[in-house]
Chain A
Amino acid sequence: MTPAPDNTAPADNDNDKQPLLSVRDLVQEFVVREAGGARGGVVQALSSVSFDIMPGETLGIVGETGSGKSTLARAVLQAPRPKSGSVVFRGKELTRLHGRSLVAARRDMQFVWQDPFGSLDPKWQIRSIVEEPLAAHHVGSSSSRRKRAEELLDLVGLDPARYAKRHPRELSGGQAQRVAIARAVALEPSLLICDEAVSSLDVLIQAQVLNLFERLRRELGLSYLFIAHDLALVKQVSDRVAVMYLGKFCEVGPGESVYKHPLHPYTKALLDSIPSTEPGAARGATTLRGEPPSPINPPSGCRFRTRCPRAVEKCAAEVPKPRELGPGHLVACHFPLTEEPPAGSAGSVPSQTAVPSVPSTAEVQG
């Protein structure tokens, strides 16, 4: 939603740092066909989404099913191509690239999907799976590729002597996901897009894979676009967190700031829904009522207003523009959960009483 949140933050050395990935006003729509192929409606999957990822930075994206998280990841990859908007990756405008030049540009941007067994060919040996991207991009000789595949398996914590010749079905979910990660980092990408990459794993295995992501970030300097529906998980790996609702970012900011001082009522509702390990803590907590409306006919104005406890007439009439209310912390809400000045003092407490704050300060260009 916002142009370059980082550039609006304290301006120290922002000018000499180019974002690795810069997404502006990304729009994706899908036409729904009714019986007989008649045009039924248009799903507004992404509505003008903008963000930057700096080198070595992790941007986490959270949201409910149907909020457009995966569509966003795929639109960045140009598969399928977004309807409009721009995706600049390492200085190249991907939306204008075709054929080989697009393939070459994608080399530095790799994916890890949710279901490892769905993304690994069941008939291939593990080492061939890990080698494939190297072969596809003609890297090295066949023997050097084999050696590299073994190094990669070692990197993700799988003993090549034991696992190289196995098939995906002989692996557990966590091991298969490690193979998928080894394949994704084979070409030494600068950006790894993880779409619910640990969601299907058991909690102990999930922790192992999260630690692996963390190690790869340190050792290879990877950036991540980390998509998940689990807020605590996203917080764990992310520098900045964006909260998505019905195809739009409603809040973006540094992880700590978003979780400690959520500004958007939706973010607060998501936080309140997390089961806590305090006995009985979640009982009686205000859970969000209802379900997200259809993205075919999203509500006018603020898209969250139909479920928002603070919604008033203005919310239906006017689309809230993203505003910066703390350092790098932007919210698209007419009545955010704070009245603190944008200086964002650490003591700013999310006010429970629905006192609409005056839309102050720092209107960033939306």
Chain B
Amino acid sequence: MTDALLEVEDLRVAFAAGGREVRAVDGISYKVDPGRTLAIIGESGSGKTVGCRAIMGLLPTGTEISGSARLRGTELIGLSDSQLRKHRGSDMAMVFQDPARSLNPTMRVGKQITEAIRTHRKVSKKDARDQAVELLRLVRIPAPERRFNEYPHQLSGGMRQRVVIAMALACRPRLLIADEATTALDVTTQAQIMELLLELQQELDMALIFISHDLGLAASYADEVVVMYAGKIVEQAPAKRLFGASGTVKMRYTRALLDAIPHLERPAHTELPVVSGRPPDTSMLLAGCSFAPRCPSAADDCTAKAPALTEHAPGHRWACWHPCENGGAA
């Protein structure tokens, strides 16, 4: 056992919605080592965001959270809000999808960053200001002194996301969680922000978890990939093992996600391979594999008993009774 920065074990999150229990996250376990990048991939409602919010302590009261999440050895699940506050910002920080909603539209961006610094550290206003300008420079914002005095609406989407990242980095966290942080951005800006995150990761020796629906992003930027479906991890492997010409995808679901991405190599007007249906309602108990109703290779045993997530090859875990041969490529 090496010293993982974050160790998540059997994390479960359940909400009460409309008198029913929705099991948004249903027993997930993973580790993130210092300085590494983990991608958590899944569709809307797969529990990828809820799982990370549970670690950050950002879920509404009344949410049932169980299991364990240890950050540098400290158990986070069960901590009070004031205890968690000590870890948020300094140990871990999160960046969200919509930068416009993460920023106060009536406040100059510099002031917002200064505030973030002074909330966590006892520094003078002037020192905080200097640090804020330094942070803007760190996230490669041109003319940081001028931008310091601008309002969010004066910045483009990419610039706003940089400001949000600067705020998240204010206390030099050991772990940064980016929740669909580039989804709302243009493809060129997305590439810029991803490059920035990876550069900052190197400079600050940070671990990075990025949550996305885009397997392409995971293949390009992640060290390790976790694929979630209906609140569970269905496949987990190093990106190098999963993707590329010699990729060995084992889950039909991961394969389906990969195949559904439009490729430049695919001739125009060809039919994309699809799986029908949609993710199951996680408030209902399914006896077997939750992907079985949509899976092209589902058999009787799939609906009878749920396959457990097991390490079948070094570093490669999957939960399937009938894994793909040869990476499942058509």
Contact = CB atoms under 8 A, between A and B. Distances in A.
B214 A203 contact: yes
Contacts of B276: 208
Contacts of A281: 219-220
A203 B213 contact: yes
A277 interface: yes
Interface stretch (A30-38, A92-100, A108-116, A231-239): A231-239
Contacts, number: 145
Interface stretch (B72-80, B156-164, B300-308): B156-164
A269 B189 CA distance: 11
Interface stretch (A5-13, A131-139, A284-292): A284-292
A354 interface: no
Contacts of A287: 188, 191-192, 195
A238 B268 contact: yes
Contacts of A291: 156, 158-159, 189
A231 B219 contact: no
A43 to B, nearest CB: 15
B188 A232 contact: no
**B186, B187, B261, B270 interface centre (most CB from chain A within 10 Å):** B187
Interface in A244-294: 255-256, 259, 269-283, 285, 287-289, 291
A205 B189 CA distance: 25
Interface string A277-319: 1111111010111010000000000000000000000000000
A202 interface: yes
A205 B272 CA distance: 11
B263 interface: yes
Contacts of B219: 275-279, 281
A64 B220 contact: no
Interface residues of A, number: 49
Given A208-B274, A277-B244, A229 B260 contact: no
A84 interface: no
Contacts of B274: 204, 207-208, 211
A174 B278 contact: yes
Nearest to A266: B188
Nearest to A208: B274
Contact of A207 (B244, B267, B272): B272
A277 B243 contact: yes
B189 A233 contact: no
A217 B270 CA distance: 12
B105 interface: no
A277 B258 contact: yes
B243 A278 contact: yes
Contacts of B194: 275, 282
A18 interface: no
A348 interface: no
B273 interface: yes
A162 to B, nearest CB: 13
B264 A274 contact: yes
Given A206-B260, A237-B269, A230 B187 contact: yes
A65 interface: yes
A214 B195 CA distance: 35
A232 B43 contact: no
Contacts of B81: none
B271 interface: yes
Contact of B186 (A64, A239, A259, A271): A64
Contacts of A173: 44
B187 A277 contact: no
Contacts of B262: 210, 230, 232-233, 235-236
B269 A273 contact: no
Given A207-B273, A235-B262, A277 B216 contact: yes
B217 A275 contact: yes
Contacts of B258: 277
**A211, A239, A269, A285 interface centre (most CB from chain B within 10 Å):** A211
Interface in A71-125: none
Contacts of A289: 192
Interface string A194-222: 00000000111111101100100100000
Given A203-B213, A259-B264, 11 more contacts: A64-B188, A206-B260, A210-B272, A211-B272, A232-B261, A232-B262, A256-B267, A270-B187, A276-B220, A278-B219, A279-B219
24 contacts: A64-B188, A65-B157, A172-B278, A202-B43, A204-B257, A204-B260, A204-B275, A207-B259, A211-B274, A229-B186, A232-B263, A235-B264, A236-B263, A237-B268, A270-B187, A271-B264, A273-B188, A276-B216, A277-B258, A279-B240, A279-B244, A280-B220, A285-B191, A288-B191
